[in-house]
Chains A and B, each alone.
Chain A
Amino acid sequence: LYNAVRIRGLILGVHMDSESVEACISRCLRGDQLSYAALYDHFAPIVYRMCYSLLLNREDAEDVTQETFVYAFKNMRRYDSARSAFKTWLFTIAICRCRNLYRRRRPLVDLAGLMQHTLHAPHGDMPEVQASRREAQDAVQRALASLSPRLREAVVLRYGHGLTYREMAEVIGCPPKTAESRVRLAHEALRDLLRAQGRGLLEELVSL
């Protein structure tokens, strides 16, 4: 049964638009176990990515992702599709737990550990391009680590997940203008740090 759940979940979870998400949620509320798996397969990588970008720690991000889904599945009836998208609701739950972790553990960012988790470039790229991409990745993660948690949240939601200022405000729990000003402050903080890196990478890619 577990494998059947996984296979169906993976099939359903590949591409889910908002309508199929709603249908999945209503099936969950009727007690369909497979729909839970489908929702998890679709949203867990997204939630994990957000948690990892905020916490920059693999174990913590996995824990928070699991907690988020356990809470969401137990409280599915509280979700109101008229108020927010399911992804936004999950982000709201996850960000609360991430904030609890910031408060409990300082400093939360371990730069040495961070370097071990840098991502590898896709296969097939030339070694120079791979090296440049790795450098760019490292630079972005260092930049994230240098930001305050509030500004990091704004950057992660905007650039990592493409949320609008209104959606960001909903997740962060602030007015849209505050979300906008946090993005601006983060931009200003990152401008000096990333400008040189971005230009270098761009020039390198153009010249290759």
Chain B
Amino acid sequence: MTMPALQCRRCQALLPAYIHRELSPRARRWVAAHLSRCDVCSRVYVDHREVARSLAAEMPAVGRGFDRERGWASVQARLLQPSPPHKKRFHKRWGAAALLLAAALILPSLSVNAPRAFALHARPPLQQTPPVGLESADTPALGAPAVRVSATPAAKIETPSAKAITPPAQPNYAPSWSAQAAHTPCGL
């Protein structure tokens, strides 16, 4: 009668533990019963037992011949050595932690939202700067017609007098939205 392959596989997986007497009594009984019925597993069991026997016979002899005297002398010498200072490592650790903390504080300001934040801060002073052309054009002392002037290209049609009193263009000068809206060509 042939045993099902599943049972044989299960038995063969348990064979080393069976040889080492590490199985539960129930599993042990099951393996013993299976071995008594299955020739294939019995042959595998014999092979495993041979491996176990030769390893158990030869392994304890591997690595014999330890020189105790020399080993003890060097262990004593190393025990007498002053232990390396732990302070440095401690500082290093805290230094790393401080760096991380600093990075955590600084990085959000440099992240994606940063340009927006700068723009928000930069805009109010620009809005507060009065449109230079408006103030100068409305002054009655010059006798010029009250033409609203701004630095936009659309405002190039002003009178020469108004143009003359316009201060030289500044590099960071930008017209405000209100001034631009007032001089749109379509009059909106």
Contact = CB atoms under 8 A, between A and B. Distances in A.
A173 interface: no
B124 interface: no
Nearest to B74: A66
Interface string A110-153: 00000000010000000000000000110111001000000000
**For chain A, what secondary structure do more than half of its interface residues adopt (helix, strand, loop), or is it mixed?**
helix
Interface in A166-188: 180, 183-184, 187
Given A49-B60, A119-B62, 5 more contacts: A49-B62, A65-B71, A139-B54, A140-B59, A183-B16
A29 interface: no
Interface stretch (A18-26, A68-76, A93-101): A68-76
B8 to A, nearest CB: 14
**For chain B, what secondary structure do more than half of its interface residues adopt (helix, strand, loop), or is it mixed?**
helix
B17 A180 contact: yes
A44 B72 contact: yes
A91 interface: no
B87 to A, nearest CB: 18
Contacts, number: 123
B59 A187 contact: no
B20 A158 contact: yes
B66 A183 contact: no
Contact of B54 (A6, A52, A61, A201): A201
Given A159-B56, A180-B22, A194-B55, A48 B63 contact: yes
Nearest to A181: B13
Interface in B62-83: 62-72, 74-75, 78-79, 83
Nearest to B65: A119
Chain A interface residue number, banded: 35 or more
Interface of B: 13, 15-17, 20, 22, 47-48, 50-72, 74-75, 78-79, 83
A50 B52 CA distance: 18
Nearest to A193: B51
Interface of A: 6, 37, 40-41, 44-45, 48-53, 61-62, 65-66, 69-70, 73-74, 119, 136-137, 139-141, 144, 155-156, 158-160, 164-165, 180, 183-184, 187, 190-191, 194-195, 197-199, 201-202
A166 to B, nearest CB: 9
Contacts of A164: 22
A137 B61 contact: yes
Which 9 A-B pairs give the minimum distances between C-beta atoms?
A52-B63, A198-B54, A49-B63, A159-B59, A140-B58, A159-B55, A48-B66, A160-B59, A198-B50
Contacts of A140: 54-55, 58-59, 62
